[in-house]
Structure 1
Amino acid sequence: MDQLPLYRRLAAHYRAAIETGALAQGDRFPSVRALMGRHEVSLSTAVQLCRQLESDGWLEARPRSGNFVRRPRRLAVRPLAEPIAGQAPDPAQYVGINARVSEFIARGRQAQVKINFSSARSAPALYPAEALKNAATRALRQHPELLVSPPSNNGNATFRNALAKRAMANGMLLAPEEILVTQGCIEALNLALRAITQPGDIVAVESPTFFGLLQVLETLGLRALEIPTSPHSGISLEALQLAIQTTEKIKALVVVPHLQNPLGSIMPDAQKANLVELCRANEIPLIEDDTYSALSNDDTPLKALKAWDRDGNVIHCASLHKVLAPGLRLGWMNAGRWQSRVEMLKYVQSRNNEELAQLAAADFIASSAYDRHLRRLRSCLKTQRARTAEAIARYFPTSTRLSEPAGGLALWVELAPGLSSKALFDAALAEGIFIAPGLMFSNSNRYDGFVRLNCGAPYTPEIDSALQRLGEICNKLPSR
């Protein structure tokens, strides 16, 4: 504890006072001036203390009135249940989800949407637009013929060098030449699957999982085998082992080990190591989608599955789409033993990425400004998730469940028993509120009682009103 900054130690002190009841909800919190005198600290430390407590949901700032104590109501919401891991998995399926997902997306695009909870990205204001614009300007000044020259094979060398240096923090030792730049993570996943599978093969995936992955599997003619996944610790190794023993040969496994979409789970290191070994021992290529790890609450980088890879069996796929700039569509991958095949598939499929975006991103991520950006982004998202969870506890039926993740962009919410996410989607969209129903995240109907709600936008009265309206709709919807 003594190694923590002073403002965080003081924040922990006041949080303990709130939890024990020494400071009650609604009490006026000491002013910045009072904190400076009481603890003999600087103005900066006192302000940081208040911001930390407000960010964590323990203080409410009221204009011209000061700070007041509150207890985050999200603590009253029951956590999500663990999946049943000991049952044989459903048969692998040719996914058939494209039509369902396309319908939901098309209806959202056609509607007059006022509040969009369906996406999984931050608001534009949370990204460093000005810094990236300046970086792009510098790149064009330094490389005046950039836009009229063919792009480099496999990606810009400066960008790949910056990525390789950043990857070291996640436990990966990669040479820049071992990195392939892609059009976002979704192209990386597509290339990985094309490199190691044939139409008709079985690919194991988490359940629930990102609907975009299910769409890719269907496009490639692959069969999805859904493996139960914990909202806290990720894919069930017990269930995966059972699937390996009881089904046809699994040709690949795709997992999101950090802040899984939509659950938000983070796999413990021991479980990651065991997963890598299980796949190696059973000769199952392991595809890692590491899109979200930089958005964890902890400033300490999370260790990638690739960090335990000793024989090239892990294909690591990542992206800057969620953490830096959605408009750049920059992803990257290291394909292990399939690197050469993936590079040729990439060339055949979409050729080399243009380099202006890569140079701008390289300029930024190689500097300390990127670390400051990530700290600000993580702090904002933590506050936004907390306030959204609190609103759900306040407005939704009392039997609603959620587990607030330790980072990320969204909340996975289990509706009150008997409620349908499809019915909620229909009713909410009619009022201009766009949500992601649970039916999008599985080829089965088992998640019709869930929704994913984006928390990427700063919390406003309009968002609060939309959540209140969703809760009112839930209270009125008939059971299935």
Structure 2
Amino acid sequence: MPTPLYQRLAAHYRDAVAAGSLTPGARFPSVRSLMAQHEVSLTTALQVCRVLEQEGLLEARPRSGYFVCHPAGRPALRLNEPEARPLDPAAYVGMHARVSEFIARGRQQPVKVNFSGARGAPELYPAEALRQAAGRALREDPELFVRAGPVAGEPVFREVLAKRALASGMVIAPEEIVVTQGCIEALNLALRAVTQPGDIVAVESPTFYGLMQVLESLSLRVLEIPTSPQTGISLEALELAVHHGSKIAALVVVPYLQNPLGSVMPAVNQARLVNFCAEQGIALIEDDTYSALLDEDVPQRALKALDRTGGVIHCASLHKVLAPGLRLGWMTAGRWQARVEMLKYAQSRHNDGLPQYAAAAVMGSSQYDRHLRRLRATLNLQRRQVSDALLRAFPVGTRFNTPPGGLSLWVELPDRRDARALFAAALAEGILIAPGVMFSNVERYATCLRLNCGNPFTPEVAAAVQRLGELCLTRCRPGAVGSGAAGSAA
């Protein structure tokens, strides 16, 4: 008796998973695609998916389709959506001391494997191309080191940035761009331009600890808005906060590969957010540090592209995508442009010219696009390797995201185990992680940690992940974090 067609097709895709043609975390062909590609009925296509799902090779995600499961005998558990709970009131941040303590402890002890950052290894970046470009710039302009440059940035660099911005839907003149010391200075300038001490600034929760430090330094109050690991900031919670009287001066969001969650805001949410902020008079500050690291080789539309009132300040960085050592960022500030330019002059004057010339030469050529494709492919592989190692090493019930790009994974430990205990135990053995309490002013993320995947997955890195799993089992007591403190990972 011949083997049923759906079983033959299931075997075909089973072999594809085993061979690595379909990698863990990858989207499986849709039912419609299976019907068209193999000329089969809806019933047959569904049977193929159900067989592979029963075998643990596929997992169904609501409204998203089927995805290839990770190995290690159990599927990866997705992070939960944020719990529906009343928002904590806006508060002065008060977490600089906590962040500084973790950073200082990491520097006081020798570190063999560092998972705490969010950057790639040096070999991932075009060092030779940048070196050659810098040499040409100095030969062509010998006075580059001894001549002060324009405060807003070198014209040749701003022209390249404006041209590149077209792919993200932004039509901006080079004169509307201010070059900054990375994205952190851009965020600092944006916040200083639109707020006064004591104002409320809404942020995603969890969020990048560097942003919280900036907010604290500016004496601003922070309102943390629950954020989904899949779709980004909760627009419902933001709207509810405004309608219940929170006078929000500014909102800072990372639409693509949010740090630390790795979420991507759907297009419909982006449009709704831009419109809402315009209606409410809220300055919308867009942190576009990671969009170029999305696996999909298609430029993503910036929130700034939807701006019709000048109410969106776009901040970007080349720190993660071109060269961590250059500390280059840029911004365009809409109706606050003149104020940002004056604040830049008052705060730090002009950036060094040589890095701008080198970056302009590389970014203005096709080699930059080739570099980005290689970088994305390498990071995709390294994230999958770390994910697989996590599944093998960490306790059952561990949850983590599978972001569609980027440098890191956000992990939630099971059974309310305290990631601070894991931080201390791992650091004693030369392994550095970033505990979740660094990313929020509240205690909801005490069971979480962020792991960098930007370094090659060497035997040393594999052994460090294995050891983290062992320490989680032996040194992190179940129930150490109260249910009211950590809550569900967002």
> Which category describes the TM-score, using the shorter chain as reference length?
0.7 to 0.9
Counterparts of residues 34-113 of structure 1 (less than 5 Å): 72-73=70-71, 76-85=75-84, 87-113=85-111
2:206 corresponds in structure 1 to: 208
1:122 corresponds in structure 2 to: 120
Over the residues paired in the alignment, what is the CA RMSD in angstroms? 1.9
Give the superposition deviation at 1:451.
0.3
**The residue matched to 2:145 in structure 1 has which SS?**
helix
1:369 corresponds in structure 2 to: 367
Counterparts of residues 249-328 of structure 1 (less than 5 Å): 249-328=247-326
Give the superposition deviation at 1:84.
2.7
**The residue matched to 1:326 in structure 2 has which SS?**
coil
**The residue matched to 2:249 in structure 1 has which SS?**
strand
**The residue matched to 1:254 in structure 2 has which SS?**
strand
The percentage of aligned residue pairs carrying the same residue is 62
Q: Which 5+ residue runs of structure 2 have no aligned equivalent?
A: 1-8, 28-56, 58-67, 481-490
2:46 corresponds in structure 1 to: none
**The residue matched to 1:21 in structure 2 has which SS?**
helix
CA spacing shift, 1:360–1:94, aligned 2, 3 Å: same
1:11 corresponds in structure 2 to: none
Q: Number of residue pairs matched?
A: 430
Name which of 441, 444, 458 aligns with 2:456.
458
- Whether the 8 Å contact between 2:24 and 2:71 is mirrored in structure 1 is no
Following the alignment from structure 1 to structure 2, what is the Cα–Cα distance between the partners of residues 340 and 417? 52
Give the superposition deviation at 1:362.
0.1
Following the alignment from structure 1 to structure 2, what is the Cα–Cα distance between the partners of residues 135 and 55? 39
**The residue matched to 1:181 in structure 2 has which SS?**
strand
Give the superposition deviation at 1:161.
0.3
One-letter identity of the residue aligned with 2:81: E
Following the alignment from structure 1 to structure 2, what is the Cα–Cα distance between the partners of residues 205 and 55? 32
Counterparts of residues 149-160 of structure 1 (less than 5 Å): 149-160=147-158
One-letter identity of the residue aligned with 1:204: A
**Deviations, residues 354-411 of structure 1 (Å, cap 9, x unaligned):** 1100000000000000000000000000000011111111110011001200000000
Give the superposition deviation at 1:248.
2.8
Give the superposition deviation at 1:247.
3.7
**The residue matched to 2:168 in structure 1 has which SS?**
coil
2:130 corresponds in structure 1 to: 132
- Whether the 8 Å contact between 1:192 and 1:335 is mirrored in structure 2 is yes
**The residue matched to 1:73 in structure 2 has which SS?**
coil
**The residue matched to 1:99 in structure 2 has which SS?**
helix
**Deviations, residues 97-133 of structure 1 (Å, cap 9, x unaligned):** 1000000000101111000000000000101111100
One-letter identity of the residue aligned with 2:289: T
Give the superposition deviation at 1:77.
1.4
2:62 corresponds in structure 1 to: none
- Whether the 8 Å contact between 1:88 and 1:243 is mirrored in structure 2 is no
Following the alignment from structure 2 to structure 1, what is the Cα–Cα distance between the partners of residues 262 and 16? 32
Following the alignment from structure 1 to structure 2, what is the Cα–Cα distance between the partners of residues 160 and 298? 26
Give the superposition deviation at 1:57.
8.7
2:429 corresponds in structure 1 to: 431
Name which of 2, 16, 21 aligns with 2:14.
21
1:224 corresponds in structure 2 to: 222
Query: Please, what TM-score do these two structures have when normalized by structure 2?
Result: 0.85
Give the superposition deviation at 1:53.
5.8
Give the superposition deviation at 1:424.
0.5
**Deviations, residues 210-230 of structure 1 (Å, cap 9, x unaligned):** 000000000000011000000
One-letter identity of the residue aligned with 1:427: A
- Whether the 8 Å contact between 1:411 and 1:454 is mirrored in structure 2 is yes
Give the superposition deviation at 1:246.
1.7
1:378 corresponds in structure 2 to: 376
Give the superposition deviation at 1:353.
0.7
Give the superposition deviation at 1:55.
9.6
Counterparts of residues 377-456 of structure 1 (less than 5 Å): 377-456=375-454
1:162 corresponds in structure 2 to: 160
Following the alignment from structure 2 to structure 1, what is the Cα–Cα distance between the partners of residues 195 and 11? 55
Give the superposition deviation at 1:150.
0.8
Give the superposition deviation at 1:418.
1.8
One-letter identity of the residue aligned with 1:455: C
Following the alignment from structure 1 to structure 2, what is the Cα–Cα distance between the partners of residues 247 and 439? 28
